[in-house]
Amino acid sequence: MGYETLNSEVSNHIAVIRLDRPDAMNALSTQLLGELARALRAAQDNDKVRCIVIAGSEKAFAAGADIKEMSEKSFADVFMGDLFGPEVDVMLRIRKPIIAAVGGYALGGGCELAMMCDFIIAADTAKFGQPEVNLGVVAGIGGTQRLTRAVGKAKSMDMHLTGRFMSAEEAERAGLVSRVVPGKKLMDETLAAAGKIAEKSMVTVTAIKEAVNQSQEMSLSQGLLFEKRMFHALFNTEDRAEGMKAFLEKREPQFRDR
Ligand code: CO8
């Protein structure tokens, strides 16, 4: 079954999921979020895929939840109906690495979606914001929590309380994005990063993703123990033996995901 609100293509072991609602700045509707969940699960289940990229358009990664869809709803509607469905956070259950390629606006749910990815590469034209305050609501899929962890309380409060937008440059300085690249090079640079990840052992990459994610959930001592045990466990893999052997033999490693 195809998609109406996004495109999803696999090439060179990378699944590129491109949000595509040009008339609504890629606003996150129930349909889009359902299709995104389906595309992400398909990428997770496809053995050829080693890294996932979520992108939008030059104008907008996503300008937030679909305000038209939300505007007539009551508290009972959204509370009992689980607005936008139970899969808005499906990304958190995807074990393959996910990079957000953000060009243009990443606002409200769009910024939150980007923050649910493993890291964000931003075009120099990108703008991030949590402007829900202007609509009389609060962020709903992690903005108050993840933005605060990413940029600290002062900047997070500023963003949420004033609703102002943050430039890509400020976002990089604050630690929200990992790199800023010229707008025209956004996809090339993101695909290059995804390609680098795709060359590694998937066992190692998956372990790294789990360990870094635990840093957001555990105390430091628990996280350090988790990391150390993961390090020990990887000594059981053929790829660990190959990686170290290849280094000593001054050649590129041939990983086999074992
Ligand atoms: N929802 C629905 N339609 C939208 C949205 C949106 N979030 N954003 C833009 N659009 C539509 C506009 O209505 C307009 O449609 P039309 O041409 O039919 O009038 C079209 O996209 C183009 O938009 P603009 O004319 O406004 O374009 P501008 O270049 O002037 O402005 C902006 C671009 C700055 C992005 C502006 O559109 C804007 O401010 N958008 C709303 C941003 C916002 O408030 N986002 C937060 C939404 S609330 C939220 O995300 C809560 C998340 C809670 C979790 C929910 C789970 C997903």
225 and 160, same structural domain?
no
Residue nearest to atom 45 of ligand 1 (CA): 64
Domain residues for 38?
Answer: 6-198
Which of 5, 19, 23, 25 is the pocket-test mutation for ligand 1 (most atoms within 8 Å of CB)?
A: 25
CB of 133 within 6 A of ligand 1: the answer is no
The per-residue pLDDT for range 23-57, each reduced to its tens digit, is 999 999 999 999 999 999 999 999 999 999 999 99
207 and 171, same structural domain?
no
In the chain, how many domains are there? Answer: 2
Separation CA 15–CA 38 (nearest Å): 13
207 and 190, same structural domain?
no
pLDDT surpassing 90 at residue 88: no
Cα Rg of the chain (Å, integer): 19
CB of 25 within 6 A of ligand 1: the answer is yes
The per-residue pLDDT for range 182-218, each reduced to its tens digit, is 999 999 999 999 999 999 999 999 999 999 999 999 9
Last residue of one domain, picked from the residues 172, 198, 224: 198
The CA 176 to ligand 1 mean position distance, Å, reads 22
239 and 138, same structural domain?
no
Nearest Cα to Cα of residue 123 among 98, 99, 102: 102
224 and 119, same structural domain?
no
Q: Are 65 and 58 in contact (CB under 8 A)?
A: no
Identify the pLDDT of residue 86.
81
Q: Closest ligand 1 atom, CA of 135? A: 44
Amino acid letter, residue 128: F
The per-residue pLDDT for range 229-246, each reduced to its tens digit, is 999 999 999 999 999 999
Mean pLDDT computed over every residue of the chain? 97
**255 located within any domain:** no
99 and 217, same structural domain?
no
CB of 28 within 6 A of ligand 1: the answer is yes
CB of 132 within 6 A of ligand 1: the answer is yes
79 and 166, same structural domain?
yes
Q: Are 99 and 52 in contact (CB under 8 A)?
A: yes
CATH code of the domain covering residue 107: 3.90.226.10
151 band by pLDDT with thresholds 50, 70 and 90: very high
192 and 214, same structural domain?
no
191 and 109, same structural domain?
yes
Q: Which two tokens stand for residue 75?
A: 């508290």
Separation CA 185–CA 181 (nearest Å): 6
194 and 214, same structural domain?
no
Q: Which two tokens stand for residue 214?
A: 């635990």
32 and 78, same structural domain?
yes
1 band by pLDDT with thresholds 50, 70 and 90: confident
**167 located within any domain:** yes
Report the half-sphere exposure of 3 (CA within 13 A, side-chain side).
21
> What's CA 169's distance to the chain center, in Å?
19
241 and 155, same structural domain?
no
**258 located within any domain:** no
**ipTM, 2 dp:** 0.98
**174 located within any domain:** yes
Which of 21, 67, 115 is the pocket-test mutation for ligand 1 (most atoms within 8 Å of CB)?
A: 67
Q: Percent of the chain, pLDDT > 70? A: 100
> What's CA 105's distance to the chain center, in Å?
15
